Structure 1
Amino acid sequence: MTYKTVLVHVDESERSNFRVRIAAEIAMADEAHLLGTAVTGVSRFIYQDGNISASDPNLTIHLNFLRERAEKAVASFNKIAQELGVLSYESMIANDEAGGGIGLQARYSDLLVIGQTNHDEPSPSVLSDFPQYLIMNSGRPVLIIPYAGDFTTVAKRPMIAWDTSREATRAVTDAIPLLKRADLVQVAIFNPKAVLDAHGEQPGADIAQYLARHGIKVEVSVHKTSTDIGNALLSLAHDLDSDMLVMGGYGHSRFREMIMGGVTRTILESMTVPVLMSH
């Protein structure tokens, strides 16, 4: 099981080049194709409906501005991919808003790499709920890179937040190509008795056995907490020197509004390491 196509969202944010390098390293490890996609931030449906008038000079100036930003982003992506020696890569610009454009490309990718929302660096082409939207709608694992902090490694010492749910199961399976290259995978279980009969007599034994069959070295730890589990996960990841968190993404959408579960919301807002989420 390997990734064959890794998609990374590129833009003019400060961390764009950083996540391109992470995506490139993952792609090269699996000899996968690396696709860097920038978006203009204008819905493709507006173009299709013919609602954009070329006669409006102010609109033309704004569209040109958005296009130039996207062109600079893909040019930077191409330079980094070439410098790193990525054997198979391409870049593209999607005339769409970020959720729709990247979400559509994700359908044809094995892994999606994006950035955490930074409210101190608003983007003219990316809405603040971009990560939530892709987790819920892309149908692919989403690796979210924090907007702060340096990470010399990713997925060498990952931690799995395991609660036996469908979402967590999907995330673990989606992360296997990364987990197989890890030095050690920590499986963290919080308050196992909160879900009756879900974990069995020995919490973590089944998931550890499943991962071991894939040749993955695993350690399981069980924890009790009466505080917020999201913050408890981040604290444990720090204590274990984890360099990636793997977990299910919980929530649902109501039209464009993303209504996320408490743990998911906490992690998306306060992550200190890259997080791979699947829904």
Structure 2
Amino acid sequence: MPIKTILLHMANDERHGARIETAVALAKRFDAFVEVLYIASPVTMPAAVTGRGASYAFLAEATAIAHEKAEEVEREVRAALKDCSYSWTVEEGDHVEQLAARAVYADLAIVTQSHPAHLEDRVLLQVPDRLPLEVPCPTLVLPYDQPATAGFGKHIVVAWKNVREASLAVRNAMTFLTAADRVTVLTLEPPGGRGEDQARDIMVFLERHGVRTHHQAQLHRDGDVGEAILDGARQVGADMLVMGCYGHSRLREMVLGGATRTILRTMHIPALMSH
């Protein structure tokens, strides 16, 4: 499916500028509309916990500050997107719930990796952790420390395993894959494994869509699957990762697969995730 509507997460956080620049670049590249959703509820105190340990005065003050910040961010957005079609909306509430409600009508959602050193990111906000599990469109997660001007998508690694999530991720990434200069299908293989057999069918599938691919079999005995995937991406010099997001989210309880958790925690390149 072509990317024609991009949902851009905006908040009072340090990395909103990088998300804006990424959205602008992709909107121009794919001739897409950008729906900018600024959520004024404090990123350190999502709606799910406002009734516990947070005073009404604190929330009111923090929300007022976020609304003031919204005016500043809106000016940034309007200047950056002046040559693109876009909308600007301010809402309050749980960030993931607000984004999920709009992602139904988007082809791509853009968020930023949680910063491992920030308590509010690791414990409370969890936008990149929760969002891919709750939306129908793919989620582009940008590394927290990636420069705003960094380009990506020239060499894409597809983390492949013959499961539904990985297949959906490939289909959702087709616009990026057909535009890439190089696509590597990465499989994890035990010692003595036959990687060609595991990758052959998906490579044929992509070839029929006009995507020339290369295969990289990453030797994997034990240990963290997510680390093995990121190591493989580094070895081939990839600048973007496409993968299925594994886990489930039920009644605010989130259980991520080990590989997904590791990649969201230690990723060094943008990851396009689908569940």
State the shift of 1:12 in Å.
3.0
Instruction: From the superposition, tell whether residues 190 and 200 of structure 1 become closer, same or farther in structure 2 (CA, over 3 Å).
Output: closer
Q: Is the 8 A contact 1:38 1:70 kept in 2?
A: yes
Q: Secondary structure at the match of 1:247?
A: strand
Give % identity.
32
Q: Distance in 2 between matches of 1:236 and 1:62?
A: 42
State the shift of 1:59 in Å.
5.5
Q: Distance in 2 between matches of 1:173 and 1:13?
A: 32
Q: Which residue of 2 aligns with 1:48?
A: none
Instruction: From the superposition, tell whether residues 138 and 194 of structure 1 become closer, same or farther in structure 2 (CA, over 3 Å).
Output: farther
Q: Secondary structure at the match of 2:129?
A: helix
Q: Which residue of 2 aligns with 1:189?
A: 187
TM-score by structure 1 length?
Answer: 0.85
Is 2:251 aligned against 1:255? yes
Q: Which residue of 1 aligns with 2:226?
A: 230
Instruction: From the superposition, tell whether residues 192 and 112 of structure 1 become closer, same or farther in structure 2 (CA, over 3 Å).
Output: farther
Instruction: From the superposition, tell whether residues 149 and 62 of structure 1 become closer, same or farther in structure 2 (CA, over 3 Å).
Output: closer
Q: Is the 8 A contact 1:136 1:249 kept in 2?
A: yes
Is 2:105 aligned against 1:127? no
Moved more, 11-20 or 158-167: 11-20
Q: Distance in 2 between matches of 1:27 and 1:81?
A: 9
Q: Which residue of 1 aligns with 2:201?
A: 206
Q: Distance in 2 between matches of 1:66 and 1:257?
A: 27
Q: Is the 8 A contact 1:167 1:248 kept in 2?
A: yes
Q: Distance in 1 between matches of 2:180 and 2:136?
A: 24
Q: Distance in 2 between matches of 1:178 and 1:101?
A: 26
Q: Is the 8 A contact 1:161 1:246 kept in 2?
A: yes
- Of 166, 169, 181, 2:167 maps to 169
Q: Is the 8 A contact 2:19 2:112 kept in 1?
A: yes
Is 2:256 aligned against 1:275? no
- Of 108, 111, 114, 1:114 maps to 111
Moved more, 153-162 or 248-257: 248-257
Residues 95-133 of structure 1: CA deviation (Å, up to 9, x unaligned): 222111111111110000100011434669x93321121
Q: Which residue of 2 aligns with 1:218?
A: 213
Q: Which residue of 1 aligns with 2:4?
A: 4
Q: Unpaired runs of 5+ in structure 1?
A: 46-50
Q: CA RMSD, aligned part only?
A: 2.8
Q: Which residue of 1 aligns with 2:102?
A: 105
TM-score by structure 2 length?
Answer: 0.86
Counterpart amino acid of 2:27? Answer: A
Q: Distance in 2 between matches of 1:137 and 1:194?
A: 38
Instruction: From the superposition, tell whether residues 68 and 210 of structure 1 become closer, same or farther in structure 2 (CA, over 3 Å).
Output: same
How many residues are paired up? 264
State the shift of 1:89 in Å.
1.3
Q: Is the 8 A contact 1:10 1:74 kept in 2?
A: no
Q: Is the 8 A contact 1:184 1:217 kept in 2?
A: yes
Is 2:261 aligned against 1:265? yes
Q: Distance in 2 between matches of 1:167 and 1:69?
A: 37
Q: Distance in 1 between matches of 2:175 and 2:259?
A: 25
Instruction: From the superposition, tell whether residues 58 and 264 of structure 1 become closer, same or farther in structure 2 (CA, over 3 Å).
Output: closer
Q: Secondary structure at the match of 1:158?
A: strand
Q: Distance in 1 between matches of 2:226 and 2:188?
A: 10
Q: Secondary structure at the match of 1:160?
A: strand
Q: Is the 8 A contact 2:41 2:63 kept in 1?
A: no
Instruction: From the superposition, tell whether residues 59 and 165 of structure 1 become closer, same or farther in structure 2 (CA, over 3 Å).
Output: closer
Q: Is the 8 A contact 1:74 1:92 kept in 2?
A: no
